[in-house]
Amino acid sequence: MATVAVALATAFTFDNGIKAIKMLFPVFEKLVVSSLVARPRKEPSVEDVLLRRCTILFEALESAAQNAGNKDLPPAVVSATKLLLETLEGVVDMAKQNENATLITRILTSSQYQQALEKAGDTVTAISSDINLVLNLHLSPAEIAAEFKAAAERDHDFLLESMQQLLEMHHGKLYKELQLQHQDVLEALTALDSRIKDLQAKEQCEKSQILLGRVYKHAAVSISVTSGVQPQRSDAERALQHLRVTSFDFSDAPDGKIGRGGFGLVVRATWNATGTRVAIKRLLRLEGSGNSADSSIRELVAQEALMWSSLHHPHVLPLLGVSLTCETPFFVMPLMENGDLSSYAVGRPQEHVRLLHETAQGMAYLHSKRIFHGDLKANNVLIDYSGRAKVCDFGMARLLAAAGARASAYSPGSSAGNVRWIAPERYAHGAKYQFEPDVFAFAMVVYEVIAGKVPFSNEHEPNVIMFSIQQGKRPPAPTTAASYSPTLWAVVERCWNQDLSHASTVYGYCLPDPWPVGSP
């Protein structure tokens, strides 16, 4: 999909939309042919119908452009092209993942895959209806809808036949067919258990759902009997039942990677059940902990997730889900498309005070819950779709340290990236403090946002930065910055006061009365 992304690097236009669609067709056609080989049939599937109907639409749209010459195309034609492209991209991504999926993944996602294909069919039918009169195509939307419906029924029957065949397999053979790696056994059992509970919660189930439930149970027994693994859950894990997810619940997005830091990798993904785009934080530093031998580490992750799930504040990032059984544990969070505070604040000086105030409110809330952040910086404040600040990554250092991981990003002086925000008292042997280091870090965040650069940006040697902070050196006031004000800078100076007898919490020092709200 990278080539399509390049074609659409600029704002959408009809021409680049047509170009991107043309690039997708060979890929989609190859996937459909591969599907035919995997499950031969005489009558067309939904995938077959999608390919044919999308081709007809594409040819009509391309012909309309040629006939129009230099004239502007009707808005309905441009909108139809954009929607057709989005639909094709989604179908191709799904088909790719389905083609490469193991049997256990196909079992767990079969219903969702079929529903997604049927939804794509509805969209293609709607596009045909929208441009039918505009381009005088003489298409029959009712006929197209009937064609998709018949194909969906055939696919449904084929799925039932496949599930019945799985039920007839003995445990050893099915386990082998599932192609499970040992480290994935617990994750698969957890996913199957969740699916079974979801079906049991339904008041009424269709025939296919009842059969699918039997397949889930048969697969779970086959895995347990053959592998010898029996899931054991702690009280904390059971308390997180409503947030429990597995890697089988998500599809990686083509533009997946968001960032990588001391904790692990953050990627974009799609929640298969809802189609919602989310962010997943994979705790790479705890890789290999998601198996029965590492129940103590799973318990630590569960405790952290339990704490996080109890937090509800408009300026604290919420937790949507947690996987405790994946080989690499992960958290699921809302996708913050506006990025972090560091990048979002650039070129928006009129919003700086509001964003900092929201960050302070989030930190004050954490401290009111007796939670020490430990790694506050502008990169750990995310911005939602409406431009509101959300504090994130609190408690991660404690989790890694407790799990026995070498949390270098949080050991004072061991990380070139983080020493710029580490308070001097964290270097003092035997020093007693509660939330004061967070207060100091907040002052550095204020500087970051106003100055538009990290503290001590001209210095690249961590030890020099550490020594400077310990000696009381602080970044100079960025008096020429657009959002600078003496009142705001007074807050900064109070926050990084090294006299612990005068340092309190972010609530006391970052929300003074009056806080300099409004334009600086």
Q: Which residue has the tokens 């989005």?
A: 86
141 and 20 in a common domain: yes
Question: Which residue would you say has higher pLDDT here, 394 or 309?
Answer: 309
Share of the chain above pLDDT 90, in %: 43
- 415, part of any domain: yes
Please identify, among 198, 215, 231, the residue that sits at the C-terminal boundary of a domain.
231
110 and 163 in a common domain: yes
| Average pLDDT score over residue span 207-230 | 92
Please identify, among 213, 231, 249, the residue that sits at the C-terminal boundary of a domain.
231
Partner residues linked to 322 by β-bridges: 244, 331
249 and 301 in a common domain: yes
486 and 449 in a common domain: yes
Q: What was the pLDDT predicted at 343?
A: 94
- 174, part of any domain: no
Asked if residue 258 has pLDDT above 70, the reply is: yes
- 81, part of any domain: yes
Asked if residue 201 has pLDDT above 80, the reply is: yes
454 and 369 in a common domain: yes
Whether residue 281 is annotated as binding a ligand: the answer is yes
Q: What is the 3-state secondary structure (H, E, C) of 200-265?
A: HCCCCCCHHHHHHHHHHHHHHHHHHHHHCCCCCCCHHHHHCHHHECCHHHEEEEEEEEEEECCCCE
474 and 388 in a common domain: yes
- 192, part of any domain: yes
Domain count along the chain: 4
Asked if residue 69 has pLDDT above 50, the reply is: yes
Nearest to 228 by CA among 308, 292, 281: 292
| Average pLDDT score over residue span 391-409 | 61
Share of the chain above pLDDT 70, in %: 83
- 313, part of any domain: yes
- 480, part of any domain: yes
Amino acid at 186: L
| Average pLDDT score over residue span 43-65 | 91
With cut-offs at 50, 70 and 90, classify the pLDDT of residue 300.
confident
199 and 125 in a common domain: no
Q: What was the pLDDT predicted at 405?
A: 45
Q: What was the pLDDT predicted at 408?
A: 36
Identify the CATH number of the domain in which residue 261 sits. 3.30.200.20
With cut-offs at 50, 70 and 90, classify the pLDDT of residue 95.
confident
Q: What was the pLDDT predicted at 480?
A: 94
Average model confidence (pLDDT) across the chain: 83
d(CA 205, CA 48): 29
Q: What was the pLDDT predicted at 516?
A: 53
502 and 385 in a common domain: yes
Q: Is residue 320 helix, strand or coil?
A: coil
| Average pLDDT score over residue span 302-322 | 93
Q: Which residue has the tokens 């020594």?
A: 467
Contacts of 504 (CB under 8 A, 6+ apart): 435, 436, 439
212 and 100 in a common domain: no
- 223, part of any domain: yes
With cut-offs at 50, 70 and 90, classify the pLDDT of residue 46.
very high
284 and 192 in a common domain: no
pLDDT-wise least confident of 2-16, 86-100, 252-266, 435-449: 2-16
109 and 6 in a common domain: yes
| Average pLDDT score over residue span 45-73 | 87
- 516, part of any domain: no
Q: What was the pLDDT predicted at 323?
A: 92
Amino acid at 386: S
Question: Which residue would you say has higher pLDDT here, 8 or 81?
Answer: 81
| Average pLDDT score over residue span 176-187 | 90
Asked if residue 349 has pLDDT above 50, the reply is: yes
408 and 492 in a common domain: yes
With cut-offs at 50, 70 and 90, classify the pLDDT of residue 498.
low
Range of the structural domain that residue 225 is part of: 181-231
Please tell me the pTM assigned to this model: 0.81
